[in-house]
Structure formats: C-alpha cells, structure tokens
Structure 1
Amino acid sequence: MNEHANSAILHGPDLEGTGKYQSVLEVFHSSTERFADKTAFSCMGQSLSYRELDRLSGDFAAWLQHETELQPGDRVAIQLPNTLQFPVAVFGAVRAGMVVVNTNPLYTEREMAHQFKDSGARAILILANMADKLERILDRTDIEHVVVTELGDLHGFPKRHLINAVVKYVKKMVPSFQLPQAVTLRQALKRGSGLSHQDVTPGPEDIAALQYTGGTTGPAKGTMLTHGNLVANMLQARQAIGPGLGEGCEVVVAPLPVYHIYTFTVNCLFMLESGNHSVLITNPRDLDAFVKELKSLDFTGFIGLNTLFNALCNRDDFQALDFSSLRLTISGGMALTRAAAQRWEEVTGCAITEGYGLTETSPIVSFNPVDGIRLGTIGKPVGGTSVKVVDLDGHDLPMGEAGELCVRGPQVMKGYWQCEAETAKVLDAEGWFHTGDIAELQDDGYIRIVDRKKDMILVSGFNVYPNEIEDVVAGHPGVVEVAAVGVPDEESGEAVKLFVVAGDADLDAETLRQWCKKELAAYKVPRQVEFRDELPKTNVGKVLRRELRDQDSA
C-alpha cells in the first residue's frame, strides 16, 4: 500500500506476449527460422543473414562445448566494437549455456582486470587491437581460453585481408602481443563447423548476461540480467516501439556500441525478433566514413543519442542525404535536448522519440509514444512496468512532486553479481528498484527527469563515476585532495572537471591528464582541472561535490 493517501503510482499497459518465449535462445530460434533469408546484421558493407547467423553461432557453440572444458553457467567475456563477430559470439555463447560478459573495448588494463576477475570469466573473445592489454593482465584473471579476432574476419575474400592489413600495417592499430594459448575466431569456427553442438535450454531465471555498471558508488558491479529480464524488455520495446515498425523490412542504423545494454537489447533482441536488419557502425566517431556509409543505405530507423544527433546535423553532407524512408528515430543513453530534437526533425523530417532506462532495468523503463511525443519528458512506463517517486525517507510522493524514481517490472535485474549488500541498497523487499534519479510524475501519465544521479557524470552516453576518477588522481604523489564533477560540454553533453589541492607547486593540469590516461578510458579523462587551496566539506569531512558544481556554474 502507499504510505500516503495522495501518493501516486503510474502503471504501464498490460505486457503483450508474456509467456511466448522463455529465454533469449527461444527468441533466436524463432527468428532464424522465420526470417532465414533476411539480413540480420551488416557491417562495413558485409551482410549476415539469419541463416548464416544460425550456422556461425552454432559453430562457435560447438567449439565452446567440445574444445574447452567450459560448462553451462560459466562466464564468457566478449570485448568487441560493433562488428559481425559480436552477434555470432553472443548467440554462440548463449546456445552453449554460457553467461555473456559484455566488455567495453575502450577499457584500460586496470578496468579489464577488475571486470574479468570479478565476473570469474573463463574465456574471452577479444579484438586483436586490444589483445596486448589482455596479455599484460591475463595472470590477474581466471581466463583460460582466449579467442582473438581481427576487424575484417567475417568479411569475404579478398576484402577480409585488405581490411585486416590496413588496420594492422597502415593504421598501425594492432600493437604486438604474445598469447600463445590463443586461437583465432576463424580457427574456432572452422573447428566447430565439423562438430555437433547441443543447445542448452535455459530457464527465465537463469542469468543471460552480466552488464557492468558502477551504480553511483564503488567499483563496477555486474548487473545480473536473466533470460526473463531480457525477453520481457524485448517484448516491452516491441509493444512501445513496434506499432511504427514492420517485420522483416526495416533497415535500422546502430551507431551506438552493441556491448552497451541499450543497443544490446534493441538490436540484438528487439530488431532480431522482428526479423529486421541492424546496420552496425564500427566507429561512429569517424563522421566522414559514417555519413559516406549512410549514403548507400535506404534506412528506415536510426538509434542514437543527443551528442550524435548534434554532430550529424551540423554537417552539410549529412543534411544532403535522402531521408524519405526514415520513419523512426530513437534517443536514449543520455538526456535529449529540445534544441537537438528540433534540429534533427528539421534536417530529416523525422521526430525523435526519447526513452529512459538503466542497465539494471535491461534497460527500458519508459518511452514516448511515437504518436504522442512530449519533448522534455521520458515518456510513459512500458508494458508491465510500474513507477513511483519517493522522498528521502522512502515515503511515496504524489503527482508533481520531485523524488527518487523507483521502478518495478519484469525487466528489473536479479541483482548485482556477488554483491548482496549493494543489491539490498537499491532493490527493496517489494521489488522496487531505486534508480537514484530524481523525477516527477505528471497527471498526463508522462514522467519528467528533474536531475541525474546526484554525482554521476554522463559523457556521450557513458556513465562516469567520480569515485573512480578520484581514486586514480589521488594516487598521484603531488595530489593532496581531489574532487571530480560533471560540467556542461557542447560536444559530449557533460565532461569531467577536477578540483585539486596540490602538495606540489609545479603540478599542472596536463600532467594530471596524462596520469589519468594511463588508468582510465579516454571518455573518463578530465577535460578541465582547477587547482584550489581547499575543497568545501561537510562537518564530517566529506567533500561537497554539489557545492563545487554550483560554484562552477555560478
């Protein structure tokens, strides 16, 4: 019951299709049978049909089952950018009964070592470009089986050799490495093709993926997303987005990283289940190549985020594209600004519909109806989902009052991997997940986010956590105290700014940035550094980050 008589809960519609699928595996088999000759994924001009995805993922599953000692439930790390190898590996691992550990290819050695050790991953598929990092941290992990792939490995001859040669010898993007126990993905697939595999049928409560997130404090935690969580969110996406999409006829551009839960669910599940074609963009930061590729596509859907919409709309070559087929644009990952939404619609003729979600919710919580977009809101709860807001004491609040947004539904995670105490902080006994985001529920059924998690920094859609930045900077011998906050940035939405009390008068901003680059992914490296004589603190000595943010924006 609600604590207050005037408290409010918003409920999404009943979820359609409940019980249709028990697992991601059932979704996969249904799609590969129904849409066998349709294109499932394409990347850099190479396509992969549903039939080919079925065959190659089966080959990878067979290799896992026969050429390793891995057992169902073991964790397999996949550290790849957007490539055709990604869905092959994901569904191969799922078919063998494994748990997928999605890993950001931008991670540093320190970040990789933590995630691999924490997850207990026993195998990894990694792009050759970062295999040298794996070599240096392998002895700090439980990884026994290493599969290395090059960027063009699933392209045909001779394009495969050309792509791999350019990446390795012309662009020099593959540092030398020594991993004598490693096999190549092509070797693994070839061996697996001569073996039979047995699909391992999981239940709804079995873990399908570990998605790592920092939450708001502490080291990165593995979010346990079950087959039931992911299937539910796929059905929720279809119910919310689906009325605007056909089956087996859509071409949807996917420039955001597929290891991120947003693209993972939307493209590897929702688009797959509906038999549609996902175009994986390997490096969306290369805008010249990105727009050139878009010229050759008759795309009907586009999935992006605020900074990408801005960057593209400022280009003459993008404005000159033919958008006559574009019917759906989805924004997620970070807040969509009104200016970016209006500019995109002016350029493309297609309105952006914004959703909201978190890693812990698989990720979609709410979505703007395609026929009822309200800019400035995150839409309405998706099917089978309830939301409410609570005050600092956990009491439910009425409509229009700002409080912490809480979510309950079948997409809410099982918990954090081997972190019962952290799970208990955010997931209460009634199944409500406490997001840490401040929101208001509106009388019209829409939700408005008032503020992000109090200290989290959102850089180009990536969560950056101040504790992690501060831990790294504090390790510099010239630093006495440090605080990291987010500041507005036109390019990335927010950027990291450091406030530093130095013990070394010669310490400068560039030195600290270089220090951070050794330990942090590029998007986490501070853009700004301000030196101070002291930092504002509470009476118990805790640094007041919010006061620093307020001072900086004043």
Structure 2
Amino acid sequence: MNATAELIAARPWLAHYPPGRPLEMSEPPYPTLADLWRGARQKFGGRVVAESFGARLTYEQMGVAADKVAAWLQSKGFKKGERAAIMAPNVMAYPAVMLGVLLAGGVVVNVNPLYTSRELEFQLVDSTPRFLFVLENFGPTVAAVRDRLPVEQVILMAAGDLIGLKGHLVNFVSRRVKKLVPEAPMAGAISFAQVLAEAPRLPAPAPLSGDDLAVLQYTGGTTGTAKGAMLLHRNLVANVQQGADWFGDELPTDTPTVMVTALPLYHIFALTACFWFQILKGGACLLIANPRDIAGFVKTLRKSRFHIFAGVNTLYNALADHPDIKKVDFSAMRLCIAGGMAMQAAVARKWRDLTGKPVLEGYGLSETSPVLCCNRPDIESFTGTVGYPVPSTEISIRDAEGRPVAQGETGEICARGPQVMAGYWDRPLATQAVTTADGFFRTGDGGVLLADGQIKIVDRLKDLIIVSGFNVYPNEVEDVLVEHPDVREAAVVGRPSAASGEEVVAFVVPRDDGLTEESLRAFCRERLTGYKTPRAFIFREDLPKSNVGKVLRRQLKEML
C-alpha cells in the first residue's frame, strides 16, 4: 500500500474530496500572522482591505495605521507576549488595532462589547492585558469596574475612526443624533486619535515565531465559566491555509473578492474565516458594525457588490424574512458559508430560493481556530451535514471512555490537527480534561461519521435530553418546529419530570398571533415519535442569543 492509500485508509473522507484538493494542508507562505499581513500589504498595497460605513481603506492605508498602533504600544514599553484587549464591534479601527498589537509582538484578547461589567471584569482579570481599546459607546461598562481592572491605559475608539471626513458624520450621528455615546468621558482614558498622533514613525520588528501566542479567544459563554483558548500564530495561519486549500478555485481570480463580514471580528469565525482568509487572498471585508439592525444591513447590501457571505442560522433567517431582501443583487455571490450553530434545513431552503446559492455549513470551535470541517464547495443544495474534515485534520468519534465507536454510531467528536489550540490560558487541569491520551481535542459535541466520510453533528452532548431512557437531540426537534409556516424561531430544552426523568419543552417565536399550542403539538406528532414531541410550548417574542446569534439554551433552562 502506497502512502496515499494508507492516508485514505486512515481518513476515509479523503476519498470524497473535490478534485484538485490537497489531502494534506499546503505549506503556509508565512509562519506568523504578522508576516502574513506584511506580505499582503506589500503584494496588495493598492487594493481595498476593508469597507465601513461606505468608506474604504487600502492595504497600505490600513498598514500605516497598524504601524502607528504598534509603534505607540512599543513607546509605552509593550513587550513581546504582553496582552492588549479589544472591545468593539466591526468598525474600521478594530483591524488596525489588532494588526498593531500583533506587529508589536503582543497577544490580542478579543472581548465581546455586549458583556456586562461583571463579565468584562472576569475576562480582563483572567487575561491581565496592559491596554484596553474599547469603542466609546461601551465606556460605561468599563467605567463601572475600572478600578478593579489590571489595565494600564484605556483607549477610546470611535465608530468614525480611520474613515476620513465621513467619520465626522458617523461620529456626530452616533454621539448627538442616536445618543449612543455617554456624555462624560471616562477619567484617565485617551482617544484612539491621540494614539495615532503620538505614535513614533515606525515600530521595531518583533521577533515572532509560529509557536508564539497570537490570540486569547475566550470560550464557554454558552456553557459556563469562560476560558481563554491559547491560539498560536501557527494555529491561525494553518487554519487560514486550510481554508484557502478548500475554497481556492471557487473564487474569482481576476478581481479581489469582497466578503460580507457581519459576524463580529472578536468572534473566532469572523476573525479567521473572514478577515485573515481575505488577507491571504488579497480580498476585502465589508464590515457590518450592527448586524442586528436588519433593515440597515439590507440597505448596505443593496449598495454593495460582494462575492462571499458568511453568517449564522439566525442571521440568514432574519435577512431572508426582510421585505427588502429581494432588492439585493446576489449575482456576484459565489459562496455562502454558515457556522457557529446548526443550520436549519428550512432556513437553508429559503436562502437558496432567494439567492440561487446553497449554504455551505462548516463546523469548528474557538479552540480549533475554528474550522475543522466544511461542506464541499460544489454542493447544489443543503446537505444537513458539516461536510468533510479540511486537509490535515483528523476526526475521531469516541464514546465516554475515549474509545472510537463504529462508523454510523453517535459519539463525541474529537479532533487533531495544526489548528488545535495549545491549551487554556492558566488552566492546565481544564486543558487536560479536554485532551485524550493520544492528543485529540474533545469538543463536547455529539456527531456521526457517515458512510461517505461526512460528519453529521447531532448536538451538544450536554444539551442531550433523556426521556424514559431514550435520547432526544434538541436540534432534531427544532428542525421540525421551524418547518411550521407560523414559526419564526424555536429552541428546545429539557426539564426534570417525575414520570420520565426529563421532558421536552419548546420555546417558540411565532410569526403571528394565530399560532396555537394545539396546532404545534399536532404538527410535531405527525413528524416525531411520542417521546420527542414537546410536552410544553412556551411562546416568546424572541430568544436569548449570544454575540453571534447562537441561541442560549442554558438561559432558557434557567428560566424553567
């Protein structure tokens, strides 16, 4: 048996790769994210790298701003390996700050700007950044705990930073019209504009390698106490290269691609699969600062020409339901990618009917930089799977004792590859708990390896509902519920039951007031076996969601 045959025997999914895809990841052109950025700036200097509020910045212009951030940090004694936190949505200053921190040799700590003061304090006390760059809108969150934060300096960014004259208008509207910015500035804070003005001319090159820490990506917001996944430069560079290997020939080669970047850059999906993927390809990110404003989002899309769309199920659903979405020109769009949560078949059908393009579902976690698997880019319709492991990625489905299960059986998805984190920040026991003896990362997700090598996600193992000894996976019940024409969204959780141990409860967002519990129960009974049919239906105006739109089942369980 030759080497290729041996590799395919060990990883059966490789036999089903699209033509031309490498079985192993290509050698990345650069060892670190800083090198990747410098190479892209040199190669694509005149191209647009980002668009925000209708203003565009080229690679060279972004590079000048990033250099100033790096030089300013170094002028304050910022050393290699020290940390700087960024707490902002997708505004133009975000990538400039991130690049500056990396060029200075530092570690980026991504912070959700929607955090409460308590959540912010926990993350910053845990990660101990010297500097915090925060959008001025969220200053009060910081101010409430400022005296308890291990932060040397707070820098206030504005939505209009780095976008020229238009930035003054954006800031005026944000501050004076919409009144999104507090009147009283935080004591001791300085502005991002001051950082740029004070910066020395050029930063000193930082001696980085692929084994150096690049990003602390906090995870666990939907499952409990947050932990910082330590993502090395080589982890992130590898995942970007894996994406390039997987999607390379599906994108235009004669023009720079534009990716709709509505998912926040502080989330690992957007950070890697949107921003850094585009940097490697010389493309641009269309930055959406507030994707929850669906009307504003649609208005932006109507003015734009884009090639790639990335989102989560709830975002696709909200856009497809908006009355003006049919006015958007999707003719240039080549790829639609979904991740972050399970994509529902009903939503995928609506999107394909609207745009003519199928949704490619991927799978990954913060701990894996994030992408582990993705649908083939040549599919014609939604598959209901997350496709195949990307090059150089091993997936093993295992039981509770860590033993591989037979093909077709459900178990825990375990992964090994160059994109898997180095461990959890300052938590060796937590790292040990998610690492198998042979070096696989335990994801906590249930899945199945199908006969053709595709991976199908069943559900989070901790969300499994056991009714009289039978397993009920919330995703399956939710998929049925959203097929009902009068259901906009649904989420399913379990609650204790004296009769059956647990019972299924459905939280439902109706499209109108005519939906009844009786009609829903009848609908489910036609499509689900008895123990899977919800015992109770709770109607709500909305569902609690994470920063990227993932439904927070944990909060729903707490409500019960």
TM-score of the superposition, structure 2-length normalised? 0.80
Give the drift of 1:299: 1.2
Aligned to 1:543: none
3-state secondary structure, aligned to 1:162:
helix
Aligned to 2:45: 36
Change (3 A) 1:487 1:431: farther
Hey, what's the Cα distance between the residues in 2 that align with 1:491 and 1:388?
39
1:210 equivalent to 2:219? Answer no
Give the drift of 1:487: 4.9
Q: Partner letter of residue 413 of structure 2?
A: L
Hey, what's the Cα distance between the residues in 2 that align with 1:525 and 1:339?
20
- State which drifts further: 175-184 or 347-356: 175-184
% identical aligned pairs: 39
**Is the 8 Å Cα contact of residues 135 and 178 (structure 1) preserved in structure 2?**
no
Change (3 A) 1:19 1:336: closer
Aligned to 1:224: 230
Q: Partner letter of residue 459 of structure 2?
A: D
| Aligned counterpart for 1:289 among listed residues 281, 296, 299 | 296
Aligned to 1:380: 388
Change (3 A) 1:529 1:91: closer
How do residues 391-540 of structure 1 correspond to structure 2 at under 5 angstroms? 391-455=399-463, 487-489=506-508
| Aligned counterpart for 1:272 among listed residues 272, 275, 279 | 279
**Is the 8 Å Cα contact of residues 76 and 99 (structure 1) preserved in structure 2?**
yes
Change (3 A) 1:217 1:83: closer
Aligned to 1:499: none
Hey, what's the Cα distance between the residues in 2 that align with 1:276 and 1:144?
35
**Is the 8 Å Cα contact of residues 47 and 58 (structure 2) preserved in structure 1?**
yes
Aligned to 1:71: 79
Give the drift of 1:196: 2.5
Number of corresponding residues: 478
Q: Partner letter of residue 249 of structure 1?
A: P
Change (3 A) 1:522 1:401: closer
Hey, what's the Cα distance between the residues in 1 that align with 2:167 and 2:62?
18
Q: Partner letter of residue 27 of structure 2?
A: T
Hey, what's the Cα distance between the residues in 2 that align with 1:491 and 1:235?
42
Change (3 A) 1:531 1:410: closer
Aligned to 1:311: 318
Give the drift of 1:177: 4.2
Give the drift of 1:14: 3.2
3-state secondary structure, aligned to 1:334:
coil
3-state secondary structure, aligned to 2:462:
coil
3-state secondary structure, aligned to 1:147:
strand
Give the drift of 1:17: 2.7
Give the drift of 1:49: 0.5
Change (3 A) 1:381 1:523: closer
Aligned to 1:25: 34
How do residues 5-404 of structure 1 correspond to structure 2 at under 5 angstroms? 10=12, 14-66=23-75, 68-157=76-165, 159-192=166-199, 194-214=200-220, 218-247=224-253, 249-372=256-379, 375-404=383-412
Give the drift of 1:413: 0.3
Q: For residues 482-517 of structure 1, what are the alpha-carbon distances to aligned partners after superposition, in whole Å with 9 as ceiling and x for unaligned?
A: x9x99555599xxxxxxxxxxxxxxxx9xxx9xx99
Change (3 A) 1:527 1:402: closer
Change (3 A) 1:320 1:101: same
Hey, what's the Cα distance between the residues in 1 that align with 2:184 and 2:369?
35
**Is the 8 Å Cα contact of residues 10 and 388 (structure 1) preserved in structure 2?**
no
**Is the 8 Å Cα contact of residues 9 and 388 (structure 1) preserved in structure 2?**
no
- State which drifts further: 378-387 or 444-453: 444-453
Aligned to 1:540: none
Q: Partner letter of residue 149 of structure 2?
A: T
**Is the 8 Å Cα contact of residues 10 and 387 (structure 1) preserved in structure 2?**
no
**Is the 8 Å Cα contact of residues 314 and 550 (structure 2) preserved in structure 1?**
no
The answer for unaligned runs of 5 or more in structure 1 is 1-6, 467-482, 493-508, 533-554
Hey, what's the Cα distance between the residues in 1 that align with 2:270 and 2:224?
25
3-state secondary structure, aligned to 2:29:
coil
Give the drift of 1:171: 1.3
Change (3 A) 1:121 1:393: same
Hey, what's the Cα distance between the residues in 2 that align with 1:525 and 1:372?
31
Hey, what's the Cα distance between the residues in 2 that align with 1:126 and 1:44?
19
Hey, what's the Cα distance between the residues in 2 that align with 1:530 and 1:523?
14
- State which drifts further: 231-240 or 448-457: 448-457
**Is the 8 Å Cα contact of residues 222 and 554 (structure 2) preserved in structure 1?**
no
**Is the 8 Å Cα contact of residues 31 and 275 (structure 1) preserved in structure 2?**
yes
Q: Partner letter of residue 79 of structure 2?
A: Q
Hey, what's the Cα distance between the residues in 2 that align with 1:249 and 1:169?
37
- State which drifts further: 174-183 or 523-532: 523-532
Q: Partner letter of residue 140 of structure 1?
A: R
Give the drift of 1:10: 4.9
Of structures 1 and 2, the one with the larger relative CO (CA 8 A, separation 6+) is 1
3-state secondary structure, aligned to 1:437:
strand
Hey, what's the Cα distance between the residues in 1 that align with 2:372 and 2:305?
30
Q: For residues 25-84 of structure 1, what are the alpha-carbon distances to aligned partners after superposition, in whole Å with 9 as ceiling and x for unaligned?
A: 111011111111110010110111001111110011011011x12211111000010111
Q: Partner letter of residue 299 of structure 1?
A: F
Hey, what's the Cα distance between the residues in 2 that align with 1:8 and 1:402?
19
Change (3 A) 1:525 1:410: closer
Change (3 A) 1:137 1:522: farther
3-state secondary structure, aligned to 1:195:
coil
Q: Partner letter of residue 204 of structure 2?
A: Q
Hey, what's the Cα distance between the residues in 1 that align with 2:141 and 2:222?
27
Output the aligned Cα RMSD: 3.0
Give the drift of 1:529: 8.3
3-state secondary structure, aligned to 2:347:
helix
